Amino acid sequence: MQNLKLFVTGHKGFETLLFHELRRITGSSTAVLTKVYGGVKINAGIETVYQVCLYSRLANRVFCELCQTRVEDEAQLYQAVYEIDWESHLNARDSIAVSATTSRSTLNHGQFVALKSKDAIVDRFRDKCGSRPVVEKKQPDIQIHFNIHHNQASISLDLSGESLHRRGYRLEHSGAPLKEHLAAALLVQAGWCQPDSILLQLLDPMCGSGTFAIEAAMMAANIAPGLERRYFGFNKWSLHDPELWQDCVEQARQAVEMNPDARIYASDYDAGALEIARANAKRAGVEEFIEFSHQQVADLDIPVTPGDTLVICNPPYGHRLQGGQDLGRLYSDIGACLQRLAPARLAIISANPDLLHRLKLKRVSRKDVKNGPLDCLFAIFETAGEVTDTELASSTPAIADEAAGPLRNRLSKNARHIQRWANRNGVSCYRIYDADLPEFAFALDRYQSEIAPEVEWFHLQEYQAPTSIETDKAEYRIRLAADVVRDLFSIPEDQLFCKIRSRQRGSGQYQKQDHRGEFYQVREGKASLLINLSDYLDSGLFLDHRLTRERVFHEARDKSVLNLFCYTAAVGVQAALGGASTVMNVDLSATYSKWARENFLLNQLDDEARYAFLRADIVELLKNPDRFSIPRDYDLIFLDPPSFSNSSKMQRTLDIQRDHEDLIKQTMKLLAADGLLLFSTNRRGFRLADAIQQSCEVRDISHATLPEDFKRNPKIHRCWEFRNKV
């Protein structure tokens, strides 16, 4: 079985970091990775299982899916489990353990589901083999997990066996330490041992049992976290390849090499905790790479070396410390310590965010994190000397600025109106503001997560200021606008994405702004769609075309659909969900073609006979459709070209005002006699050629396709229906 369906879980909220780590681990293999809520899906072979279990610092468990089926009652559950070919995965005398989680399902008791599933497995072996597996809760030969959500059951093998955060080195601890994979995720988030990082020195001034320092040393020495584990869930799996596993282990051993420039320090006021930390470091094989010391934070002294220092810590959560020291004073001491180590960065996970102001440091990022049952904040601060009131005023626009009042009032008024409309109409992604005030020329869109509806993201796109506006003033205004948005909508920094939208030509509008590769899932009508708010100027979903896509949804039933310049294929998805017989999506960009495929797969639209994707220069395709095997009888065609494009992949530049007549005439040749062409453009000042209006039946539907949230800007797009004249 070389094409395994794997699901790798990690700490909630760090799926993006896990995705990038797994992509590095799988390297040039043929593994296909998809980030989802709670983890990463991977389609790959068994070597990938071994690599993840060995090398992943952020993963928790590795599940291999055997079956997905719908179960609504006990009988369906039993039958579904019984029918699985368990004999190809384990022997009759192996030990097993069965676990289950359920949510929003008829079967809502995990223990009952686990018990009935175990009965079905045992009964099948008894019927087929005359003997049965035994149940062993601690380190069984095979571990089986059931997850039932909305009555959809996923039945998997747990190939990790035990949580991968259990590296094997932490046999002792002091207090309530962080789990190893969470500590590693926080280190990565803070920039330790990341590409292009200048952090060469790390200090944990409250090291406890040493988890941060040990994980940091293992990263710096390239020690695979699973190297010393002896128990995995695949050890007795029938498909386990011991020789391949040993090869992977040997490669991991040979790859161990300490970064000679890295310096790692760990200290604590508790001498007993330091002894535990040293013992744990010795078991992890990194004792020689960490310098331990018995010091108070207020008196901390470490050697000064070139490069920036990362101070990372998990302060106590109580209000008073050993010896009666106040927790607030501890935060002040941490801030003072960082100032002495400047240039330095502080990464702190805190269950007392109300005390973070005691640090007197400039915060550069924040992230909400769960540490066990506790809601914590992981914040990163940097030193540039102590931050005075004057410096704060210059580095962050004051909300008290007199220009902020009118902006806040307009945003608040728009948001109240649009939100009421959106709630009535089931719209979860919409525009709030579009340069309503001349001095604040930006657009603000709001997106709601489909997976976690309580999560929303805001996309602020600034239009490039006129040359008459001084650069400093323009920059100040956009920072002020961002602050007003954060304050008004009470959103954390990582849920507001700000971009400057200059009036670009050609491929510039498609160039990357960032490289996070992070997608979010949103809902539009019956469609689930992926957006990217960080990497491109546009999100992947043109909100002004919401009603146009709705029109396609209603027009498409039993029709063949051609989606030209398909972008991320939101139109194609709506056509398919509307019952189109076939949908052909065409775009020249490899990035958007891949994105389009993922949007189709997200909606379970995987019938290759009905849904096709073609990378092609559409101008050339329309000139010579036979070369691309494009038929000439489509019932419905959607044509939404860019206003201008000079992509190097195209044979010639495209100017929609100059070229639209030829484009439309050639597209009409691919239309069935009674077919419909929808043509749209966002080109300001666009005029439809008179010759086109004489040769076709034309109807302007621009007003009918203008959503409520774009009525303040009625020129956002133009849209027409074209039909062949009878």
Give dist(CA 661, CA 658) in Å, integer: 8
Do 285 and 410 lie in one domain? The reply is no
Residues 496 and 527 in one domain: no
E strands, 575-648, are: 582-587, 611-615, 634-639, 644-645
Mean pLDDT for the stretch of residues 262-290: 94
Q: Give the domain-ending residue among 389, 412, 443.
A: 389
> Which pLDDT band holds residue 447 (cuts at 50, 70, 90)?
very high
Domain of residue 711: give its range: 520-724
Tokens of 583: 């949908």
For residue 365, give both structure tokens: 């990022």
CA distance 202 to 569: 46
Question: 367 and 261, same structural domain?
Answer: yes
Please indicate, yes or no, whether residues 494 and 384 belong to a single structural domain of this protein.
Answer: no
- What is the rounded distance in angstroms from the CA atom of residue 537 to the CA atom of residue 480? 20
In a domain, 230, yes or no: no
Q: In the prediction, which pLDDT does 646 show?
A: 67
Rounded distance between C-alpha atoms, residue 336 and residue 315, angstroms? 15
Residue type, 490: S
Q: How far is CA 520 from CA 331, 358, 513, 534, 550, in A?
A: 35, 35, 17, 10, 21
Tally the domains of the chain.
4
| Most confident option among 218-227, 381-390, 399-408 | 218-227
pLDDT band with cut points at 50, 70 and 90 for residue 199: confident
Residue 509's pLDDT band (boundaries 50, 70, 90)? very low
Residue 399 has a pLDDT of 58
Q: How much is the average pLDDT of 112-138?
A: 94
202 in the same domain as 53 = no
- Please indicate, yes or no, if residue 250 is contained in any of the structural domains: no
Phi, psi (deg, nearest 5) at residue 163 = -55, 135
Q: Do 469 and 367 reside in the same domain of the chain?
A: no
Minimal CA–CA distance to 38: which of 61, 9, 70, 76?
A: 9
pLDDT at 474 > cutoff 80: no
Q: Do residues 194 and 270 share a domain?
A: yes
Per-residue b or e along 589-619, where b marks 16 or more CB atoms closer than 10 Å to that residue's CB: beebbebbbebbebbebeeeeebebbebbbb
Q: What is the longest distance spanned by two Cα atoms in the chain?
A: 93
Domain membership flag for residue 184: yes
With CA atoms as reference, report the closest residue to 564 among 508, 614, 623: 614
Sequence-ordered strand ranges (E) for 327-402: 344-350, 362-371, 374-382
Of 175 and 295, the one with more pLDDT = 295
- CA 142, distance to chain mean position in Å, is 31
What is the average pLDDT across 474-487? Answer: 86
CA–CA separation, 199 and 195 (whole Å)? 10
Does residue 333 surpass a pLDDT of 80?
Answer: yes
pLDDT tens per residue, range 511-546: 455 555 677 889 999 999 999 998 888 999 999 999
Domain termination residue (choose one: 475, 503, 531) = 503
Q: Is 223 helix (H, G, I), strand (E, B) or coil?
A: coil
Report the mean per-residue pLDDT for the chain: 88
User: What is the strand order of the sheet 308-313 is part of?
Assistant: 290-294, 263-268, 199-204, 308-313, 344-350, 374-382, 362-371
Q: What is the pLDDT of residue 651?
A: 61
Q: Give the pLDDT confidence of 596-629 residue by residue, as tens digits.
A: 998 998 899 999 999 999 999 999 999 999 999 9
Q: Within this chain, do residues 565 and 698 fall inside the same structural domain, yes or no?
A: yes
Q: For position 457, what pLDDT does the model report?
A: 92
For position 648, what pLDDT does the model report? 55
Share above pLDDT 90 across residues of the chain, in percent, rounded to a whole number: 68
Do residues 60 and 163 touch, judged by C-beta distance below 8 A? yes
| Per-residue pLDDT at 1 | 47
Distance CA 284, CA 167 (A): 8
The residue-averaged pLDDT of 98-125 equals 94
Q: How many CB atoms lie within 10 A of CB 209?
A: 26
Indicate whether 204 and 339 sit together in one domain: yes
Residue 324 has pLDDT above 50, yes or no: no
Evaluate whether 446 touches 429 at the Cβ level (below 8 Å): yes
Residue 104: HSE in the Cβ half-sphere, 13 Å Cα cutoff: 3
Residue 171 in domain:
no
Residue 383 belongs to domain with CATH number: 3.40.50.150
Question: In this structure, are 425 and 382 located in the same domain?
Answer: no
pLDDT band with cut points at 50, 70 and 90 for residue 489? very high
Single residue among 389, 414, 445 that ends a domain in this structure:
389
Instruction: Supply the pLDDT for residue 607.
Output: 95
CB 572 within 8 A of CB 586: no
Q: What is the CATH number of the domain that holds 466?
A: 3.30.750.80
pLDDT digits (tens, 9 = 90+) for 46-65: 999 999 999 999 999 999 99
Same-domain status, 568 and 474:
no
Q: pLDDT at position 342, please? A: 82
**Sheet with 496-501, edge to edge strand ranges:** 430-434, 442-448, 456-463, 496-501
Is the pLDDT reported for residue 463 higher than 60?
yes
Same-domain status, 26 and 92: yes
- Orientation angle between helical segments 471-489 and 404-425, nearest 10 degrees: 50
| Ramachandran bin of 360, using left for φ above 0, alpha for ψ from -120 to 50, beta for the remaining angles | left
Angle of helix 46-55 versus helix 242-254 axis, rounded to 10: 40
CA angle centred on 592, ends 554 and 616, rounded to 5°: 90
Do 292 and 277 form a contact (C-beta atoms < 8 A)?
A: yes
Instruction: Tell me the DSSP string of 673-710.
Output: EEEEEEEEE--TT----HHHHHHEEEEE-TGGG--GGG
Given a cut of 90, whether residue 355 has pLDDT beyond it is no
Is there a domain that residue 144 lies in? Answer: yes
What pLDDT shows up at residue 466?
62
What is the 8-class DSSP label of residue 557?
A: T
563 pLDDT more than 70: yes
- The single residue listed with the structure tokens 């001498």 is 271
Strands 199-204 and 308-313 turn out to be parallel
Residue-level pLDDT at 439: 84
pLDDT value of residue 395: 39
CA dist., res. 274 & res. 446, Å (int): 49
Instruction: List residues bridging with 528 in a β-sheet.
Output: 523
Contact between 179 and 186 (Cβ < 8 Å): no
